[in-house]
Amino acid sequence: MHTRFLKAVAIASATLLPLAWQGNAHAEEIKSIRIGAVAPKTGPLAGGAAMTQWPNIRLWVDQTNKAGGIMLKSVGKRVPVELIEYDDRTNNEDTVKAIERLATQDKADFIIAPYATAANLAAAPVFAKYGYPQLAVNSVTDRGPELGKRWPNSFWLLGGGSGMGKDLVVMLKKMQGEGKVGNVVAVSFVADGFGLDMANGTRKALKDAGFKVVYDKSYPLGTQDLSPVINEVKALNPDVFLAFSYPPDTFGLTEQARIAGFNPKVFHTGVGTPFPDYRDRFGSATVEGVMGTGGWDPSTPRMQAYIEAHKALNGKEPDGWASSVTYASLEMLTQAIERVGSLDRKAVVKELQTGSFDTVLGPFQFKDNVRQQPWAVGQWQNGVFRGVAPHDKTGAVDPVAKQAWK
């Protein structure tokens, strides 16, 4: 990769809490904790990373440094965070090369996991090679348990297609039993890691539940014109439309559905649906009842404080799915480092494997390096994206059938 595309932006704070000198010579050596971050700033997934990844990294850095840094007992003081950023241009090869560079040239102490499913899968061997904990937030994969065993330094927080697909179909079956939707389903998905994983898991769940799938097709990553998809699906008159899409596709499918007057009782799109930009572009009344992958419970005091802090620093709300999980992963990293008391990555990995953490999501503990019961489906209701499935998850609200586009 040409180095001109790997322009690093180092963001360091010189602020330190006034602490008494501990007499440890090593304290003079650690001026900052070097944190690497690789995610798209350009390319098809740049918009998603600009909503979910980068703002939460910057919020964490800002709050950590304003608090004086991360406490390292090994040097007897708080140490500020220095952020080193790389744009991977939505290219997995660039992701891998940037992580290699962070590990070998920049000598990063820790590296934040990249953005998107395929990027995390591609980068996992590199994280393992150099012993970095990989808190893979923006990655949906059924392989989480397998990968956690293969690479014990990797942690998978967003769920997998089989589990999330099952929760989605359980919700649809309940709505069907209540007379809110019929039996005919159309499925469209991006031919990339997230779309493939979600489609594969949901396809099996739909078949097992007895739904009739009349459309099941992928489209290439970066497809600009999605009107053929909507026009073909509309002609089949499904009760349920499920798209496992990336943000540009999510916006495009919604726009084309409005233009075509395509009004299924369930209109579900993928990444980007929980973005406040989605609501703001189309209007609260228009997106009322639209469902999307993910979800959250924004009503807790801890989450409300996080939302306000995010808005104050970034000038916008976080999204209603992976933003808070990204932030929570950084809270866990901080707590693990402070409990270990040093920059010993092996010990930090062990703490992440076994510890319990206080996060914006509530109390959190991994099981076999995988987050348990993640949100599968959310829905826009009264201008707020709320989790609706799994239905028994704390904070879940009842789903409603979507009305015609406004």
Residue 21 lies in a domain: no
Q: How far apart are CA 49 and CA 113, in angstroms?
A: 12
The confidence band for 26, taking pLDDT boundaries of 50, 70 and 90, is very low
Residue 120 lies in a domain: yes
CATH number of the domain within which 135 lies: 3.40.50.2300
Q: Is the pLDDT of residue 64 over 50?
A: yes
pLDDT at res. 120 = 96
Residue 12 lies in a domain: no
Q: Is the pLDDT of residue 124 over 70?
A: yes
Residue 402 lies in a domain: no
Residues 71 and 125 in one domain: yes
Residues 276 and 151 in one domain: no
Residues 116 and 72 in one domain: yes
The sign of the dihedral angle between the CA atoms of 100, 105, 106, 109 is positive
Residues 276 and 380 in one domain: yes
- The stretch 159-174 carries a mean pLDDT of 95
Residue 16 lies in a domain: no
Residues 349 and 203 in one domain: no
Query: In this predicted model, what pLDDT tens digit does every residue of 308-337 receive, in sequence order?
Result: 999 999 999 999 999 999 999 999 999 999
Q: Side-chain half-sphere of 241: how many Cα atoms within 13 Å?
A: 26
Q: What domain range is 319 assigned to?
A: 33-159+300-365
Q: How far apart are CA 116 and CA 46, in angstroms?
A: 10
Residue 89 lies in a domain: yes
Q: Is the pLDDT of residue 15 over 50?
A: no
Residues 200 and 87 in one domain: no
Helices (H), 116-192: 117-130, 144-150, 161-177
213 or 10, which is more confident:
213
What is the pTM for the complete model shown? 0.89
Residues 273 and 335 in one domain: no
Q: Please, is 384 exposed, middle or buried when counting C-beta atoms within 10 Å of its C-beta (0-12, 13-18, 19+)?
A: middle
The average confidence (pLDDT) of the chain is 92
Q: Is the pLDDT of residue 223 over 70?
A: yes
Instruction: Domain count for the chain, please give it.
Output: 2
Residue 166 lies in a domain: yes
Q: How far apart are CA 95 and CA 270, in angstroms?
A: 23
The confidence band for 16, taking pLDDT boundaries of 50, 70 and 90, is very low
Nearest Cα to Cα of residue 294 among 270, 277, 318, 316: 270
Q: Side-chain half-sphere of 96: how many Cα atoms within 13 Å?
A: 13
Residues 250 and 290 in one domain: yes
pLDDT at res. 315 = 97
- The stretch 363-373 carries a mean pLDDT of 95
Q: Is the pLDDT of residue 22 over 50?
A: no
Residues 140 and 197 in one domain: no
Residues 187 and 271 in one domain: yes
User: In Å, how far from its chain's centre is CA 75?
Assistant: 34
Residues 151 and 173 in one domain: no
Residue 395 lies in a domain: no
Query: In this predicted model, what pLDDT tens digit does every residue of 270-314 receive, in sequence order?
Result: 999 999 999 999 999 999 999 999 999 999 999 999 999 999 999
Residues 170 and 290 in one domain: yes
Q: Is the pLDDT of residue 236 over 60?
A: yes
